[in-house]
């Protein structure tokens, strides 16, 4: 007999955060998040200044057998004219009754709040982990992507969910350079628009330029990314503190116009997934060593985000920063690159057809009326 318990105490929050460690024990592909990062995300993340959130555990006796977090993002609902609750941090044992209990609990709360639809798995905003894995279970995901067992998707179908959208990811050969055609396009674009390459290492030193970078991120994706939610000033500040220290010129690129204004960007990180597996959710005593070593190893990189400000989109600027990133990949010994999830309907995914690539993962957002 299962029961549901709302997470209201520090002790239960720790049980919530640690449950996947036991659930995925022995799974070679699962990448655990750092417990400290998870606690911060669930208690102090910037979006919590405007989002509503509830968390529950499913218990069998005293043992945790599932978890779920339900979030109402009013900025999303207002922007898209919806009344939706999003679910995330969803994990459970292979038992439909557990999944049903958790989802029903989230739905009941959502209806009390006037919501009419539930979708997920999603984070508070577009920056976090989202999308239930439906293909590529044999692969290790980038650190910012979810992993789940195949039976999760069976549960979604049984519980009446349908596909809202899919994101796709690819694995590319990173050290073979770019095609000659792309190289010619890059030179043509640089000359035609009087563009030049900038330095992320220099940009990071100027707080105002960092803010401009994230505002450009907002502008770049506001029209092209499905379900995108622009970052608030507080979220920009949070992301700048957490992300910028790990970005460098070694494998990333920014493009500037003749006035020194940002035009486009391509951001990559060294893969830290295997380091996080070794850390097992803990930074101490040895987790920080594994992470530090990983940040110096560029054999595999995660292509985190790339884009251009609206007025520079569809002008071929992506050819410029892809060429530079390919040259940098060869210099630092980068063999493989894993793309960030991109909506399958976005024509931007066609860029990978210019490179040696294989399908890597497919993940899905589910939705249903409540």
Same domain, 180 and 150: no
Three-state SS for 253? strand
CA distance 119 to 85: 7
The domain boundary, picked from 137, 167, 197, lies at 167
- Taking CA atoms, 212 is separated from 204, 247, 259, 315, in Å, by 11, 16, 14, 21
Same domain, 12 and 160: yes
The distance of Cα 274 from the centroid of its chain, to the nearest Å, equals 17
Mean of pLDDT over the chain: 94
For residue 311, which of 357, 348, 263 has the smallest C-alpha distance? 263
Please compute the mean of the pLDDT values over residues 17-46 and round it to a whole number.
97
Residue 345 belongs to some domain of the structure: no
Tokens 């999830």 belong to which residue?
Answer: 341
pLDDT at 347: 64
Q: What domain range includes position 313? A: 175-334
Residue 234 preceded by cis peptide, ω within 30: no
Same domain, 68 and 109: yes
The H or E element containing residue 60 is strand 52-60
Contact 63, 119 (CB under 8 A): no
pLDDT tops 70 at residue 350: no
Same domain, 252 and 110: no
pLDDT at 251: 93
Same domain, 88 and 221: no
The domain boundary, picked from 116, 140, 167, lies at 167
pLDDT at 355: 72
Same domain, 96 and 231: no
CA distance 291 to 287: 6
Same domain, 229 and 298: yes
> pTM here?
0.94
Contact 61, 80 (CB under 8 A): no
For residue 91, which of 39, 48, 155, 135 has the smallest C-alpha distance? 155
Residue 350 belongs to some domain of the structure: no
Cβ neighbours of residue 295 closer than 8 Å, sequence gap 6 or more: 246, 269, 270, 272
Same domain, 130 and 228: no
Query: Which tokens belong to 328?
Result: 């940098």
Residue 367 belongs to some domain of the structure: no
Contact 123, 131 (CB under 8 A): no
Three-state SS for 105? helix
pLDDT digits (tens, 9 = 90+) for 202-229: 999 888 889 888 988 898 888 778 889 9
pLDDT at 181: 83
The distance of Cα 207 from the centroid of its chain, to the nearest Å, equals 24
Same domain, 188 and 157: no
Same domain, 120 and 179: no
- Taking CA atoms, 133 is separated from 99, 121, 369, in Å, by 16, 10, 22
Query: Which tokens belong to 251?
Result: 């494998």
Please compute the mean of the pLDDT values over residues 252-260 and round it to a whole number.
94
Domain of 83, CATH number, reads 3.40.630.30
At 137, phi and psi to the nearest 5? -65, -20
Alpha helix positions (H), the chain:
10-23, 35-43, 74-80, 96-112, 151-158, 180-193, 200-203, 207-221, 233-243, 273-279, 287-294, 317-332
pLDDT digits (tens, 9 = 90+) for 287-322: 999 999 999 999 999 999 888 888 898 898 988 988
If one counts every other C-beta atom within 10 angstroms of the C-beta of residue 50, the result is: 14
Angle between the N-to-C axes of helices 151-158 and 96-112, in degrees from 0 to 180, rounded to the nearest 10: 50
Q: How many domains does the chain have?
A: 2
For residue 57, which of 18, 96, 114 has the smallest C-alpha distance? 18
Same domain, 161 and 202: no
Same domain, 197 and 295: yes
pLDDT at 157: 98
pLDDT at 88: 98
Domain of 220, CATH number, reads 3.40.630
Residue 190 belongs to some domain of the structure: yes
Residue 342 belongs to some domain of the structure: no
Angle between the N-to-C axes of helices 35-43 and 10-23, in degrees from 0 to 180, rounded to the nearest 10: 130
**Cα(first)–Cα(last) distance of the chain, in Å?**
25
Residue 122 belongs to some domain of the structure: yes
Strands 357-369 and 117-120: antiparallel
């Amino acid at each position: 007999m299962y029961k549901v318990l709302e997470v209201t105490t520090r002790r239960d929050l720790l049980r919530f955060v640690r449950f996947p460690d036991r659930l995925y024990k022995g799974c070679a592909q699962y990448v655990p998040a750092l417990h400290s990062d998870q606690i911060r995300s669930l208690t102090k993340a910037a979006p919590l200044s405007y989002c509503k959130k509830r968390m529950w555990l499913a218990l069998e006796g005293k043992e945790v057998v599932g978890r779920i977090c339900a979030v109402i993002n009013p900025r999303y609902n207002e922007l898209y004219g919806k009344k939706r609750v999003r679910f995330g941090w969803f994990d459970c044992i292979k038992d439909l009754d557990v999944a049903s209990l958790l989802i029903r609990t989230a739905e009941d709360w959502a209806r009390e709040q006037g919501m009419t639809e539930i979708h997920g798995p999603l984070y508070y905003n577009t920056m976090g982990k989202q999308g239930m894995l439906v293909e590529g279970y044999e692969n290790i995901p980038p650190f910012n992507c979810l992993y789940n067992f195949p039976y999760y998707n069976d549960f979604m179908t049984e519980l009446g969910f349908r596909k809202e959208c899919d994101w796709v990811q690819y694995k590319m050969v990173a050290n073979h350079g770019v095609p000659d055609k792309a190289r010619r396009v890059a030179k043509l674009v640089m000359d035609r628009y009087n563009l030049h390459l900038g330095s992320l290492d220099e940009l990071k030193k100027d707080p105002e330029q960092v803010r401009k970078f994230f505002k450009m991120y907002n502008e770049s994706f506001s029209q092209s990314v499905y379900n995108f939610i622009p970052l608030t000033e507080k979220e920009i500040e949070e992301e700048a503190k957490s992300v910028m220290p790990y970005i460098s010129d070694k494998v990333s690129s920014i493009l500037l116009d003749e006035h020194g204004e940002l035009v486009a960007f391509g951001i990559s990180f060294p893969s830290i997934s295997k380091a996080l597996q070794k850390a097992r959710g803990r930074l101490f005593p040895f987790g920080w060593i594994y992470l530090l070593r990983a940040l110096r190893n560029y054999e595999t990189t995660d292509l985190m985000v790339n884009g251009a400000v609206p007025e520079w989109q569809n002008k071929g600027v992506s050819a410029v920063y892809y060429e530079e990133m390919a040259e940098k990949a060869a210099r630092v010994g980068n063999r493989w690159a894993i793309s960030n999830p991109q909506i399958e309907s976005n024509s931007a995914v066609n860029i990978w057809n210019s490179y040696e690539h294989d399908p890597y993962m497919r993940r899905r957002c589910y939705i249903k009326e409540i």
